Structure 1
Amino acid sequence: MYLDTFTHQHLFKMEEHKKRIIKAIRYIDNHLEDDLSLEKIAEIGMYSSFHFHRIFKLITGETLQNYIIRKKTEKSAFYLSVKKDMKMKEIYLDLGFSNHSVFSKTFKKYYGMAPSAFRNSAPETFHKILQISGKNGHVDTVFSQYICHVENLLKWTKMNLKIEVKELPEMNLASVMSLGVAHVESSFNVLIEWAKNKHLFPRDNVKMISVYHDSFKVTPADKVRIHACMLLDEKLEEQNGVVFSETTDAGKYIVGSGECTLDDFEQCWVSLFLWMNEHHYSMRKSFPFEIYHSNFKEHPEGKMQVDFCIPIH
């Protein structure tokens, strides 16, 4: 009896810690250009600075400072890749780097090359960024070509995706955060259980959505932040920390629609970003997302109908 009570209390405390850390992470990611001192973030998470530092590392696997620097650097790499019209100075100042020297040193430490070299090498051929261990234990950044010939990718896109530029409305979502691609399915399970208790699932034409707050091009798969979401008719008012309200921006999007397997997803995204560059669009400061119109588990070949959506100017 005592053991059961202890276990229940321990799980309750861990769940409460998780809610607070999610709140802190969401604040960090939405305020990368602001003051992100330990004291400020600890206050957001309702902890003392000492306890927050320890709990944050326990739950995320990295220190708060490392997380902030990584997010700033990854976001800058993403802008360098897809926002060709954005000046270097605008990028690093927008993300809170004090000057070009600090930005360049930090970027080079993380990716092994200067930001200017990265911009010139990364986006044009749509290489996938990989980090591999060097002989002496250091990390070397290398670019491996995802598809050898652009023509083949464009041909694949034409055969497998219907691509349109369209206006999409604002969407009200119930969301559960996933840190790492391996945890997305469990996040959807948490969301569905919550929706069942609210009598929101199952229902006709329910739409499940994944919102990508990081790019696989610049963030390791085990650290990518993905929100498992459900489309709601109205904005979610009641929130419990694990399930929270999120809103996608209304506006212009590149929408690639097709039936594909999970293994096709990366190729679909690469195709769309290439199409975006080929047609001289640039990405808005918003998040891309996937809308699922069917369940791959119910298809004999594991296929699902998906809309891949990129916010653009």
Structure 2
Amino acid sequence: MVEASSGMALPWESAQARAYAQRMNRVMDYIDRHLDTDVRLETLAGVALFSEFHFHRVFQAWCGETLGEYVRRRRLEVGALYLDHHREMSVLEVAVAVGFGSGEAFARAFRRHFGVAPSQWRASVPVRWAAQRDQLQTQQDRKIDQMPMSATGEDRGLIHLAGNFHMKVQLETLPAARVAYMRHVGPYGESVARFWAARFLPWRNAQGLETATCYGIGWDDPGITPAARCRYDACVEVRPEFSSTSPISYAQLPGGLYAVGQFSGTLAQLGLAWTYLLREWLAHSGRQLDHRPLLERYGPSASSDAATQTFRLELCLPVRAA
């Protein structure tokens, strides 16, 4: 059942399987919004429209983890993100924000999961981020070396030099938006691109939404969450009266202040672009990262070029005053 939850196109996937995926997505989203509370089984069963008797077994079969394991993992992963990006928060404040009753309980669980204490994790931020940046740069260089020989030396040089990101970034207040979305669960990168092409875009175009603004939302940090469990939503903005059946779910993207970076490059460079925004621009901006989701926005200026395997979009980083 894991493949069905990823949203990949499967010839045997039934309408019932798609409906189950929607219900599990609602449960996961609810858990993320209520990590600081006592997430009760009966409440989640109601969100999923399952009986309490069957819900725990269905959740484990679908997600590959028990409900308790999933909630604990999400609390610790979000706690790690807070330690990375919200240095104004103490370890105790982080612990409470993700549902732990004490700093000691959080520290014990954190060490079991990540192998280090929360304070050590926070102190290792520069080293970990540099290692992730170097890994992304190496992956990009390999992609360049694998480009078809038909690409000119000039083209290859431009793509390689684009690794030193200096995106134009400006602050914008984005309105809230109702979106229809499909969810992919698995590694980011090329598998997400295939998901858009094989699954989401054919559905969007069949609905006559070719000109509507689209969004991509990566809910997890691949430096923290195992690649096989990373969640990504492909979304399209829809009007309030729009309605469609499975495999679509609906959500309301919150508006607010975003740092919007104009990205133009290859898929291999997209991770570097996010790294630049989160770990270079943000550190010198005088702003704090907000708790709203990070967005890839495909608006009127978005484009793609199959010949050069490049595309243009906007990276939207939610921010607030320091």
Normalised-by-shorter TM-score class: 0.7 to 0.9
Q: Summarize the Cα distance change of 1:194–1:10 in structure 2 as closer, same or farther, 3 Å threshold.
A: closer
Aligned positions, number: 279
CA RMSD of aligned residues (A): 2.7
**Distance in 2, Cα, partners of 1:12 & 1:269:** 36
* Higher RCO (CA < 8 A, seq sep 6+): 2
Aligned partner letter, 1:192: L
How far off its partner does 1:310 sit? 0.7
Aligned to 2:165: 157
Aligned to 2:283: 277
The counterpart of 1:192, out of the listed 172, 179, 201, is: 201
The 5 Å alignment of 1:1-313 reads 11-122=14-125, 124-125=126-127, 127=129, 144=131, 146-147=133-134, 156-158=164-166, 161-180=167-186, 181=188, 182=191, 185-186=194-195, 189-200=198-209, 202-203=210-211, 206-232=212-238, 234-235=239-240, 238=243, 240=245, 242-274=247-279, 275-292=281-298, 293-296=301-304, 298-313=305-320
How far off its partner does 1:208 sit? 2.2
Contact 1:257 1:306 in 2 (8 A): yes
Contact 1:188 1:229 in 2 (8 A): no
Q: State the secondary structure of the residue aligned to 2:113.
A: helix
Q: State the secondary structure of the residue aligned to 2:82.
A: helix
**Distance in 2, Cα, partners of 1:183 & 1:253:** 24
Q: Summarize the Cα distance change of 1:89–1:235 in structure 2 as closer, same or farther, 3 Å threshold.
A: farther
**Distance in 2, Cα, partners of 1:258 & 1:287:** 18
How far off its partner does 1:98 sit? 1.1
Aligned partner letter, 2:107: S
Aligned partner letter, 1:257: Q
Aligned to 2:156: none
Q: State the secondary structure of the residue aligned to 1:252.
A: strand
**Distance in 2, Cα, partners of 1:215 & 1:236:** 34
TM-score when normalising by structure 2? 0.77
How far off its partner does 1:120 sit? 1.4
How far off its partner does 1:218 sit? 1.5
TM-score when normalising by structure 1? 0.79
Aligned partner letter, 1:306: L
**Distance in 1, Cα, partners of 2:297 & 2:14:** 33
Consecutive unaligned residues in structure 2, runs of 5 or more: 1-10, 136-160
Contact 1:176 1:242 in 2 (8 A): yes
**Distance in 1, Cα, partners of 2:241 & 2:311:** 27
**Distance in 2, Cα, partners of 1:70 & 1:264:** 29
Seq. identity, %: 24
